[in-house]
Amino acid sequence: MTRQATFILPAMLSALLLGACSHSIPTSSSKPVPPPLTSAVPTFPPQTREDSRAPVSQMPVQVKTDLTPVQTAIRNAIPERITEAGHPLGEEFRWTFLRNGQSNVHIQDGLVAIHAEYKGEIESRGSSQICRLDPLFASLEATGRLMLVQNGESVSFGFEPTHLTVATKPDNDARCNMFNRPVSEQIPDLFGLPEVKIALAEAVHPQEFGISLQRIWDDLGGPLSLPIASLNTRACMYGNPREMILSGQKGTTQETIISGTAKQMPFMTYEATCTEAAPTVALVNSGSPPPEGKPYMLVARIPLSYQQLSHQLQSKLFHQSISMDATVPETAVIERVSAADANGRALVAIETSGDLKGTLYYWGTPRLDESGRSISVPDLQMANESKAAIDSIRIGYWQLVDRGLKTNLREAMAVDISSHVDRLKQTITGTHRSGATTMDILITRQQPDQVRSTPQGLTVTIMLEGTANAAGQITLEEQNPRALLRRDGR
């Protein structure tokens, strides 16, 4: 070997080593499109995922009302004067019974008890044997139940008398008897109890005692607007009522509680200003209360912008080094990291400098952990386009880059949403007023549902569980409310 050849060989080796220390990633005319979860084909239609539907939850509802108008109507239907007019025995006998003062009408737990005192006389007509009984004392006793009845498109109170009796007192005049049976047995027939029963039932007419549940229905629909000062926004809860089931009455005349259950599909979102819920017509049914023990559940949606995620990635990865090959001292430095939506997945762009210059792309599907408090990307992977671009430098080179970058990138993409979850639970737990209706809600736990990626950002959906109940008040109205009552065979 000549001295000239000896000089040229080290120069060539030096040039090769220098050339291996710095690489530029070939640029691509378009961003990579992540493949679908079940295919390795590099281009696909966008991934579609529907929003989670809120589960049907049951909220016990207590509706307070004053039944004094019903009590007055029943009292006014009790006859003040009972005579023989229109009675088949009127041609043979004459009688008059006058009511002593006001009747007593007592309402308790939907049951009605009536008591009225009468004083009267009975006299025979046109008979050779004149008989006149004076005074006669009798009491009218009646019981019945207030019913929730259908009246076209409204729910109304009705009255169903079930038992009527007339009793006499021991100190009645008993000088004679003009009937074929004892006077105490004849007097109930003279009172015309079938007609009295009809009059009592018609006194509580559905047209006059409608129950307007539309206002309470609207209050349950919301939105319930709850300020979150730390985020300068509001948590908006929409009850989304589907049906109300009325099942019983408790209490006195002035304070009767109608117990029922509202079936809802509630959900909660963050909004700068809560949007008015679309109006719906109250749908009311009567029947047995549903079984207890099921938790009250609502869907909560937490928005996270890609700007927030990009800021987190940049703060955690900026100027971190990527060691690509332990045998050759090659190192890349992360300069800029950003995240965006890509067909329903998260696409991360990493701009590097140093021994590897250019932009790398990773993609993955954000998911919630089992506690519903953290977001991770378990399937994070380098895009095929980036693999091909890096491998154009050296076959298998992308694996070295991926080994030095993916673990740190996956850890940086983990988002702790515990503060959001706890804030929501604390915000919704408590006593809230929607219109004239009061709601008591207690959230005790959460369950993960899904994370959805859109161009606007990530939407985290969790299921909140707990208990809830509502209480409101209504006034009996003469107009027809907009409530529907369906009766089934339950």
For β-strands 241-251 and 283-286, DSSP reports them as parallel
The whole-number pLDDT of residue 463 equals 95
Q: Look up residue 455 and give its DSSP letter.
A: T
Q: Is the Cβ–Cβ distance between 362 and 350 less than 8 Å?
A: yes
Going by C-alpha positions, the residue among 53, 57, 52 that lies closest to residue 450 is: 52
pLDDT one-digit tens code per residue, 436-483: 999 999 999 999 999 999 998 999 999 999 999 999 999 886 444 334
The whole-number pLDDT of residue 340 equals 92
Spans of the chain below 50 pLDDT: 1-20, 34-49, 478-490
Which residues lie below 8 Å from residue 406, measured CB to CB, with a gap of 6+?
362, 380, 381, 382
Q: Look up residue 101 and give its DSSP letter.
A: S
The whole-number pLDDT of residue 125 equals 86
Residue 347 phi, psi (nearest 5): -115, 125
The whole-number pLDDT of residue 476 equals 80
Residue with tokens 């908006």: 236
Which residues lie below 8 Å from residue 170, measured CB to CB, with a gap of 6+?
none
CA distances from 431 to 62, 70, 471, 472 (A): 15, 32, 11, 13
In whole angstroms, what is the distance from residue 158 CA to residue 151 CA? 10
In whole angstroms, what is the distance from residue 106 CA to residue 229 CA? 52
Structure-block tokens of residue 105 = 């009408």
Q: Look up residue 28 and give its DSSP letter.
A: -
In whole angstroms, what is the distance from residue 314 CA to residue 310 CA? 6
Q: How far from the centroid of its chain's Cα atoms is residue 291's Cα?
A: 17
The whole-number pLDDT of residue 34 equals 42
Burial class for 479, CB neighbours closer than 10 Å (0-12, 13-18, 19+) = exposed
DSSP string over 232-260: TEEEEEE--EEEEEEEEEEE-SSSEEEEE
